Structure 1
Amino acid sequence: MQIHRKGTHPKAQGDPAYFTGPVEVETLLEAPPPARVRVARVRFAPGARTHWHTHPLGQTLVVLEGVGWVQEEGGPKQEIREGDVVWFPPGVKHWHGAAAHTPMVHLAIQEAQEGQTAHWLEPVSEEQYQG
């Protein structure tokens, strides 16, 4: 058993190669092999968001605070709020982030395949973000 205490997790600013706007990523868990699960708390400033991306084994988001938006390629942008849980199936191109005027915090839960949890793609354009 491992217990990861509050305040002991590494935090980093979101890499501009993967995010638009101010984002903080706090790695909560990277389970040792053979487990593959990884969990992060991600804080998005108003208007901040991921780039388009996919996950080889899917992704679950649990919204902890605020209001955000999610979108799958070809689908409508949808609002998410505190308490909502979002599942993106493996390989589905999508993005997620805060609403334009409200911050948002979520847990991101995904599994690694051959060490990779995501395949990062192009930024979400302002037109796509505003929807």
Structure 2
Amino acid sequence: MINCSAQNPLKADQNKLNFIFPKGKLGPVENFTGKAWSIGLVENDSIYNTVIGNVFFEPGARSNWHRHPSGQILIITDGKGYHQIKGQPRQILKKGDVVKCPPNVEHWHGASPDTGMLQQYILPKTEKGIVTWLNKVTDEEYIGSKK
């Protein structure tokens, strides 16, 4: 017999997170593993040259490796997740963390395996470009080193 609550752990997880904004649109499978929902909050324009949005990563969801010409700022508003800059150890993220991803540096971010993550992102100086998507994060990279 299958326990119904075990079939739907995501619903319980979503109820624990403090959603400030609507989930938005599902991110493309070409750029994400698992389900990541994104909504734009400030669209790019020639006055501010900044993009701001909100992303909900379901448990286990993560972005591909990517880079931003002018960097990226992440503000974790709820849940638990990970961030990694290429060549550095994976970092654990939690509510209240702020991460500065340097310009043109490969990185990824996403939720932990058992807890979703809500984040806001800020992309400054968009006249230099927005994002270059790269390879998927492997399971080994996502799980991290056991050392």
The TM-score with structure 1 as length reference comes to: 0.89
* Cα deviations by residue, 1:7-35 (Å, 9 ceiling, x for unpaired): 6x792101111111011001111142132
Correspondence list, 1:91-110, <5 A: 91-110=104-123
The structure-2 alpha-carbon separation of the partners of 1:109 and 1:46, relative to structure 1 and needing over 3 Å to count, comes to: same
What is the aligned-residue RMSD (CA, Å)? 1.6
Letter in 2 for 1:78: Q
For the residues of structure 2 that align with 1:104 and 1:10, how far apart are their CA atoms? Answer: 12
Distance (Å, rounded) in 2 between the aligned partners of 1:32 and 1:125: 35
Distance of aligned partners of 1:48 and 1:10 in 2 relative to their CA distance in 1, 3 Å threshold: closer
Contact 1:56 1:113 in 2 (8 A): no
How many residue pairs are counted as aligned between the two chains?
124
* Bigger Rg, structure 1 or 2: 2
Residue 108 of structure 1: how far off its partner (Å)? 0.7
Conserved 8 A contact 1:29-1:40: yes
Determine the C-alpha separation between the residues in 2 that align with 1:33 and 1:93: 26
User: What is residue 50 of structure 1 aligned with on the other side?
Assistant: 63
Which residue of 113, 121, 128 maps to 2:127? 113
Gaps in structure 1 of 5+ consecutive residues: 1-5
TM superposition score normalised by structure 2:
0.79
CA distance in 1, matches of 2:83, 2:23: 26
Alignment partner of 1:39 out of 52, 55, 75:
52
The Cα of 1:91 is off from its aligned counterpart by 0.7
Q: Give the equivalent residue in structure 1 for 2:31.
A: 18
Partner SS state of residue 99, structure 2 = strand
Q: Distance in 1 between matches of 2:86 and 2:45?
A: 32
Q: Which amino acid in structure 1 is aligned with residue 132 of structure 2?
A: H
Q: Secondary structure at the residue paired with 1:70?
A: strand
Which 4+ runs in 1 deviate beyond 6 A?
A: none
**Does the CA contact (< 8 Å) of 1:10 and 1:27 recur in 2?**
no
Counterpart of 1:113, as a letter, is E
Q: Which consecutive residues of structure 2, in runs of 5 or more, have no partner in the other structure?
A: 1-19
Counterpart CA distance in 1 for 2:92 and 2:123 is 21
- Secondary structure in 2 aligned to 1:65? strand
Structure having the larger proportion of residues in strand:
1
